Chains A and B, each alone.
Chain A
Amino acid sequence: MTSTETQPAGPDAGSAPDAPVLEVTDLHVTFPAAGQGRDVHAVRGVSYQLRRGEILGIVGESGSGKSVSSLAAMGLLPEYAEVTGSVRLHGRELLGLDDRQLAKVRGRTISMVFQDPLSALTPVYTVGDQLAEAVRVHNPDLPKAQAAARAVELLRLVGIPNAEQRYRAFPHEFSGGMRQRVMIAMAMANDPDVIICDEPTTALDVTIQAQILEVLKTAQRETGAAIVMITHDLGVVAGFVDRVLVMYAGRPVELGTVDDVYYRTRMPYTMGLLGSVPRLDFQDKAPLVPIKGTPPSLSDLPPGCPFAPRCPLVREECTTGEPPLVRVGAETHQAACVRAAEIEANEWTAADIYPVPEIPEDAAAGTPREDREVVLEVDDLIKHHPLMKGAVFKRRVGTVYAVDGISFDIRERETLGLVGESGCGKSTTLMEILSLNAPQRGRVVVLGRESGRLGWRDRFAVRREVQVVFQDPMSSLDPRMPVFDIIAEPLRTHGHPREALRSRVHELLRLVGLEPAHATRYPAEFSGGQRQRIGIARALALEPRLLVLDEPVSALDVSIQAGVINLLDELKARLGLSYLFVAHDLSVIRHLADRVAVMYLGRIVEIGDVDAIYGAPAHPYTQALLSAIPIPDPEKERSRTHIVLEGDLPNPANPPSGCRFRTRCQKFRQLGDDERQRCLDEEPAVIPLAGAADHGAACHYAEERELL
């Protein structure tokens, strides 16, 4: 460990204007193994400097060591973690300080915002008390009343309405976005010089993410702090940060300004990462760049470049030694690749170096929509949950309008994307369709047969035709069943000939890109992406016509996600499937879907052809949603203006009168009083837009607007 200087830490300590506020040098973090296992080398030599007011993005997939490296800097790792190297804050070494000394620095000079706002606040103290505690712990002499006043001021600063009353609220009374605001208020309480944000928006919906990014910018303006932004979202990085550090397997593999890293990428991993993101702003549906394989285990690393086993440019020398981070091109641009110079000279891009799969052209693409068979028809579907109160004598105190009158249809060989934020009713819609029970109102017709009017034999037959893939590949496969049994189960249930069982399972495994030899293994032996492929194989076993996909890729890392999306694309074309694809990620939907339906509070607000809606959305909510999503293209992102919606989703048990979106609507605010009256009184229905073939919006004042 390096020597410890005892300099007073404070904003003026590093007097030179260009002196780094935070300097991390050759940081290593190892989690020693208990018993038989091997040590986990979570961070292996991270170095970076952070200047005053600068925003540094640290990007990487799960397990790349990006969070661990910053927790190490804060002294927040468990005691058994071995940390070596140097972390200097204003020139003062932090590693090796005892807990008491570190506590004086934490929250005052360097503070942190965590990923999951739902669990980051202590449930038994009020929000205000926790905030005041952050103030008082560093100013013990401050009277309680003043600390409370400061807490209220902070709450107001991060945009919490009625700050005085909300001071006394408990965390569970706040929504996720509001709690994250409180976390940011806590981080800026003592005017820190560095704020570390660990995936601050990952757990939030896009419109809330846009709000939180705004609040973070406010926090930076107020405190003048430098920010370390840890994220896996390349879009957030593009618009928010000055410099980027890309991490892979515990090591930095590329470092530079955003423009250098995005436009003059020199490391194949970064190129693959950028190429694997589905793009909101691209109309043509070129296959995504999948990175083959999975990240290496951090306890058993190959001797050479950790990316070598997955790299398309791998050469013999890559497997002998790990390449150091060296300067490439611009003075501030560094990459860890032996072939960086070659990449520069040939101006290679991701599409040049990665083998992109050929996705066959869909045979039915030419047939007009009207001539194709209707696979699923949903007409005026509702699902209301009663709200009950009382322990012994339950009484109905209200109704949650989870799905409140939605209609759409899906034709053969068509993908309908159902998008919306959490709580909009998209998953409830799926479950209503899959239940095959009579809906509370409206009709669900699957392949011409109406749900709720079938005998058990017919229902059983319909089940063959409609299969589902779930969101979480970890919990949707029985961990005690070998893969063969998992995939064979639907076949056995539906009386598939036993002698053909084995060949069918092997065929399915090959279909989803797995080895037939994998059939004897258990789900735990597979990575997330492979498990999702098993889930897809199981869904395809009975040769369904309609596949219902509930957020099938949202739990996966981008490089893995790309492979699964390509697979879904390919299967649809080869097997002539129809998809009902539920997702909150609008980029994925744009890439996969033919048509899209946008949901808000149990209603469809806009529906139509994917290019029509993404090209010129007409409903203010769709516009806000599309505008809120950051695009992984720094120049485009900088020139965009985001529509930031106010507030949270209203309570679905008590939706606003008239148009449900009016409480947050940016258009509503611009209207005159007479025009507003209509939004207050009359609930808009989905009306086809004039001049568009397949595009309808539920807004009294719908107006197409180009955003991307």
Chain B
Amino acid sequence: MFLARRLLNYVVLIFLASSFAYLLAATTLDPRSNYEQLDPRPSQESIEARLDELNLNDSTPLAERYVTWVGGVATGDFGLTIQGRSVNEEIARKAGVTLRLIVVGTVIGCTVGVAIGAYAAVRQYRSFDRVSTGAAFLVLAIPTVVIAVSLQVSAVAINQAAGVQIFQYGGEYTAGLDAGFWGTLGDRLQHMVLPTLTLAIAQFAAFSRYQRNMMLDVLGADFVRTAMAKGLTRRAALLKHALRTALIPTVTYFTFTFGILLAGTTFTEKIYGWNGMGAWVVDSIFTNDVHAVAAVSCFMAVCVMAASFLSDLLYAWLDPRVRVS
């Protein structure tokens, strides 16, 4: 019931976010100029016809274009790109790439971040805590772009030192590779390591700091002492009673950081030459591709809402009190 109501909220939010993105893109981007600057310049009529065909003609009132677009989206059609290809097909190709990056990066980043943060809290002011705190603050102070580039540079150095291509840092896979199933998988993994690491490091930094503070709050809690007095070892009491309780606020925090993660994904894809949604949105803005921008915004909104829904689920699982009251 609680979750169903949330879900309805999300649908409304996604709709609003995509609509705003469309309206913003449709008013600021100028697809007409794409055709007007062609050499040789096409005839005025053919430009108009082309723009009409794509539903991008700025002489049509915005409301009318919007209604056409919404009508398409409602039936699952995000329209055409400026090159006249189907946006849906492009999404199908690129979404998987981005999702792979986000999901793996988030899972690794959060898990490692939470584990390190929680352990640092247990070892407060010891060397582990100091080192992890230092590392986290260092990462927090550096923008994702710089992390991505530095990783690339160090990968080059390592590759040169080893004399073998350990790390791949361009593209998503080696084009034209024919190495069978395992070979392809290995090749993809090789390409995946650096971009995923870039995202994971940023996630780790944020989560380890937050989890450390949450954990410190409950470490001295009476109920942890009770658990030990019952006969649990310190380790068991910390895992089962302290960490479980300390995870609850972190799950909420996850939703907030997810947006930042998506922004990071955009840079990462661009830098590592992945053809994902993030790289696409940057390209689309350059090419005045209104429908692509709106579609990517919608995709991002869906991702954020999915993350939020996931954190609601986790919250309800971790804290059964929301289920009963």
Contacts and interface: CB of A to CB of B under 8 A. Distances in A.
Interface of A: 74, 76, 99-100, 103-108, 111-112, 114, 116, 119-126, 130, 133-134, 137-138, 170, 172, 183, 186-187, 189-190
A186 B245 CA distance: 20
A130 B320 CA distance: 14
For the complex of A and B, list the 5 residue pairs with the smallest distance between their C-beta atoms, beginning with the closest. A107-B231, A119-B222, A134-B230, A107-B230, A122-B223
B223 A121 contact: yes
B233 A120 contact: no
B225 interface: yes
A124 B248 contact: yes
B223 A138 contact: no
B251 to A, nearest CB: 12
Contact of B228 (A106, A125, A130, A186): A106
Contacts of A114: 222, 225-226, 229
B223 A120 contact: yes
B320 A112 contact: no
Interface centre among A106, A172, A190 (most CB of B within 10 A): A106
B149 to A, nearest CB: 41
Interface string B281-324: 00000000000000000000000000000000000001111001
B226 A103 contact: no
Contacts of A124: 244-245, 248, 318-321
Contacts of B185: none
Given A103-B233, A137-B231, A138-B231, A76 B225 contact: yes
17 contacts: A76-B229, A103-B232, A108-B231, A114-B226, A120-B223, A123-B245, A124-B244, A124-B321, A126-B320, A133-B227, A137-B230, A137-B231, A137-B232, A138-B231, A170-B324, A172-B321, A183-B226
Contacts of B222: 114, 116, 119-120
Contacts of A126: 320
A133 B321 contact: no
Contacts of A103: 228, 231-234, 236
A228 to B, nearest CB: 13
A170 B230 contact: no
B241 interface: yes
A116 B320 CA distance: 23
B233 A99 contact: yes
Contacts of B229: 74, 76, 106-107, 111-112, 114, 187
Contacts of B233: 99-100, 103
A120 B226 contact: yes
A130 B226 CA distance: 10
Given A114-B222, A172-B321, A122 B230 contact: no
A332 B227 CA distance: 36
Given A76-B228, A103-B232, A108-B231, 18 more contacts: A99-B234, A105-B231, A106-B228, A106-B229, A107-B229, A111-B229, A114-B225, A120-B225, A121-B223, A121-B226, A122-B223, A123-B223, A124-B318, A133-B230, A133-B232, A137-B230, A138-B231, A187-B229
Contacts of A121: 223, 226
B221 interface: yes
Given A123-B321, A137-B231, A170-B320, A186 B244 contact: no
Contact of B223 (A99, A100, A119, A172): A119
A1 to B, nearest CB: 20
B231 A122 contact: no
Interface in B223-258: 223, 225-236, 241, 244-245, 248
A694 B235 CA distance: 63
B162 to A, nearest CB: 43
Contacts of A112: 229
Interface in B119-147: none
B91 to A, nearest CB: 35
A200 B134 CA distance: 43
Contacts of B244: 122, 124
B16 to A, nearest CB: 17
Interface of B: 221-223, 225-236, 241, 244-245, 248, 318-321, 324
A106 B236 CA distance: 14
A105 B226 CA distance: 14
A108 B230 CA distance: 8
Contacts of A170: 320-321, 324
A124 B316 CA distance: 10
Nearest to A104: B231
Nearest to B227: A122
Contacts of B319: 123-124
B231 A134 contact: yes
Contacts of A108: 231
Contacts of B232: 103, 107, 133, 137
B262 to A, nearest CB: 28
A100 B228 CA distance: 11
B79 to A, nearest CB: 35
Nearest to B244: A124
Interface centre among B229, B241, B244, B318 (most CB of A within 10 A): B229
Nearest to A74: B229
Nearest to A173: B324
A138 B235 CA distance: 16
A312 B222 CA distance: 39
A176 to B, nearest CB: 13
A106 B221 contact: no
Interface centre among A74, A124, A126 (most CB of B within 10 A): A124
Contacts of B234: 99, 103
Contacts of A186: 226, 230
Interface centre among B223, B232, B234, B236 (most CB of A within 10 A): B223
A122 B227 CA distance: 8
Contacts of A123: 223, 245, 319, 321
Nearest to A117: B222
A254 to B, nearest CB: 28
A187 B225 CA distance: 13
A108 B232 CA distance: 11
Contacts of B235: 99
A487 B205 CA distance: 48
Contacts of B225: 76, 114, 120
B221 A119 contact: yes
Interface centre among A103, A116, A121, A130 (most CB of B within 10 A): A103
Contacts of A107: 229-232
Contacts of A104: 231
B78 to A, nearest CB: 33
Contacts of B245: 122-124
A120 B241 CA distance: 11
A219 to B, nearest CB: 15
Contacts of B228: 76, 103, 106
Contacts of B223: 119-123
Contacts of A190: 231
A122 B238 CA distance: 12
Nearest to A100: B233
A187 B226 CA distance: 10
Contacts of B248: 124
Contacts of A133: 227, 230, 232
Nearest to B245: A124
B9 to A, nearest CB: 12
A306 B58 CA distance: 90
A106 B228 CA distance: 7
Contacts of A100: 233
B121 to A, nearest CB: 13
A76 B219 CA distance: 12
Contacts of B226: 114, 120-122, 183, 186
Contacts of B241: 122, 125
Contacts of B324: 170
Given A76-B225, A114-B222, A122-B245, A106 B320 contact: no
A113 to B, nearest CB: 9
Interface centre among B222, B236, B319, B324 (most CB of A within 10 A): B222
B224 to A, nearest CB: 8
